[in-house]
Amino acid sequence: MVISKTNTEVSKILQLNDNKVILVSGNSFSVYDYISDSLVAQTTTIPANESNSSCIKIQFPESVIIPETSETSLNSVKSEDKSTPNLNNDTEQTPKKKQKIGGSKGKDPKSSAKTDLSLFRIRDLSVSGVDAENNCQYVALITENKQLYIYETENWTIVNHTENSKRCNSVRFDPTSKFVLVADKFGDAYRYPILKKPAELKPELLLGHVSILTSMEFATIYYLRIKKTTETNEVVEDSIAHKEYKERTIILTGDRDEKVRSSMYPNSYNIHSYCLGHTQFVTAINVPKLENSTKTLVITGAGDGTAKLWDISSKLSEHNNSENYIDSSALLQSINLSQIGSNFIDSSISEIGILSIKSSKELVSIIVEGVPAIFLFKLQVDQSGNNSKLILLETFSTDSVKDSTQNDKVSNIPADIEFDSQNRLLVSYSVNSKVSPNSLLEVFEFDSESSKLVSCKSNIKFSNYIPPQVETPVDPKSIFEWGRKSFDRNN
């Protein structure tokens, strides 16, 4: 009897360069060139009978050596404890949990136990800029069982690997590409230097919230440079035509207590401002890249079903910039997606939450959990005032790309979105026990004449992408499960 299997969904899409993307599916990821329609690399977690033998094999997870005796097993655990810092005296990190990664509890240690791959589900990942010093690019990822992996992208070898003291929700490289940051479920953000093995990765605590950190991004703010007159030493601002600005890097962190905090980086004990206005947990932070602008705009999404546009540009000048001064963030716009997308929201959905926000140039795309639609906006920037705003271009029904002959179980509900450098929008669709899409991935381009999304299905395909397969699709946890105040951080 042949048991039919189902492809697993692509839960994360990350743009690597002009043509290549990283596609995350459960405890595996692949590197795909969607212009040449070719598989470049994939992790060893994909079974040999489902993989492509011609592509690069990425070692993930790192090999775990199973000890041959109970005595060596204990020594191995003790040795691993020494190499992995136990921050905040966290009792989660115990020898029993370490041993569970290597094999199931209660099995004979002499048996050839294997790594439990289900523990290595990928939670988030990030790609660095090109490190000018080493002329290389890195990818970092975090897993549900606290692991942090760093890869170089030329040959996809492991640069380094460590275990965080807590489970993490977000990982990001800093703008220098010399450090990687993780945000955990206990409200802390740590920084690791990019060091190659055998160097040990030691975390540095940067900042802390009192609730779960849900998202993290970097931004740049600009302070007006000041010059002094030579005679009176009087502080005067440059004329408008000759204004000069000083750049400062800030880190934005969103939490379960409805707020977004912007802090100076790396001295993150200095708070720049707060974005206060959401009524539910923050789920997404996006910082649009503005050309020839000293504005710093931020778009946030939350479990309240709204997307908000903020201006966090500094109101300070160089001469009155105090580390103890908290600047203000202006709320420019609040958009209720549940109202805009009411025609696409099933009556059975009682809670509406923003799943992802992505931007490219002047385009902004937003998806909502469980809703078969893409909300496309144009960002209109007011360089001199507070009138920047998001203009709705289209509410695109992803179910409109379905074949009319398909049954009701087929539904194209976006799981993730990502813009590429050419303003094309890559979309992955959800697969679970209730619905399945007619394709796992699709690419759209923006038609400037009609201001609408147009499918690139005819010329961009993913025909050589090989996703992992399962007998029964795993239903993903709703963002409202961990967003509720009753959520146990230890889960």
DSSP-assigned beta bridge partners for residue 13: 23
Rounded CA gap, 7 and 429, in Å? 11
CATH of domain 6-63+122-483: 2.130.10.10
The predicted structure's pLDDT at residue 488: 64
More confident residue, 144 or 116: 144
Pairing of strands 297-302, 306-311: antiparallel
Q: Residue holding tokens 């999404």?
A: 301
Give the lowest-confidence range in 25-34, 48-57, 206-215, 310-319: 310-319
DSSP 47: -
Give yes or no for residue 235 having a pLDDT over 70.
Answer: no
Distant-in-sequence contacts of 444-453, Cβ < 8 A, 24+ apart: 444/374, 444/396, 446/363, 446/376, 451/378, 451/393, 451/394, 452/376, 452/393, 452/394, 452/396, 453/374, 453/376, 453/394, 453/396, 453/425
Give the lowest-confidence range in 49-63, 334-348, 378-392: 49-63
The predicted structure's pLDDT at residue 227: 58
Q: Residue holding tokens 């000069």?
A: 244
Rounded CA gap, 423 and 317, in Å? 35
Give yes or no for residue 2 having a pLDDT over 90.
Answer: no
pLDDT bracket for residue 244 (50, 70, 90): confident
Take residue 141 and report the two structure tokens written for it: 């990822």
pLDDT bracket for residue 62 (50, 70, 90): confident
Using CA of residue 151, residue 139, residue 214, residue 342, what is the dihedral sign? negative
More confident residue, 246 or 233: 246
Predicted TM-score of the model (pTM): 0.84
SS3 category, 340: helix
Take residue 351 and report the two structure tokens written for it: 């809670």
**Domain boundaries along the sequence of the chain:** 6-63+122-483, 65-114
CB atoms within 10 A of CB 96: 8
- Using left for φ > 0, alpha for ψ between -120 and 50, and beta otherwise, residue 74 falls in alpha
pLDDT bracket for residue 278 (50, 70, 90): very high
Q: Identify whether the C-beta of residue 204 lies closer than 8 Å to the C-beta of residue 249.
A: no
- Type of residue found at 56: I
Take residue 445 and report the two structure tokens written for it: 């381009």
CB atoms within 10 A of CB 13: 23
The predicted structure's pLDDT at residue 404: 54
Q: Average pLDDT, stretch 469-485?
A: 80
The predicted structure's pLDDT at residue 432: 87
Give yes or no for residue 242 having a pLDDT over 70.
Answer: no
Distances (CA, A) of 363 to 14, 382, 425: 17, 15, 10
pLDDT bracket for residue 471 (50, 70, 90): confident
More confident residue, 89 or 42: 42
For the stretch 159-202, pLDDT in tens is 999 999 999 999 999 999 999 999 999 999 999 999 999 999 99
Closest CA to 124 of 145, 144, 141: 141
Take residue 485 and report the two structure tokens written for it: 């105040």
The predicted structure's pLDDT at residue 327: 65
Give yes or no for residue 386 having a pLDDT over 50.
Answer: yes
The predicted structure's pLDDT at residue 35: 94
For the stretch 337-385, pLDDT in tens is 999 999 998 888 888 999 999 999 999 999 999 999 999 999 999 988 8
Give yes or no for residue 90 having a pLDDT over 50.
Answer: no
Q: Residue holding tokens 């490289």?
A: 173
DSSP-assigned beta bridge partners for residue 42: 30, 57
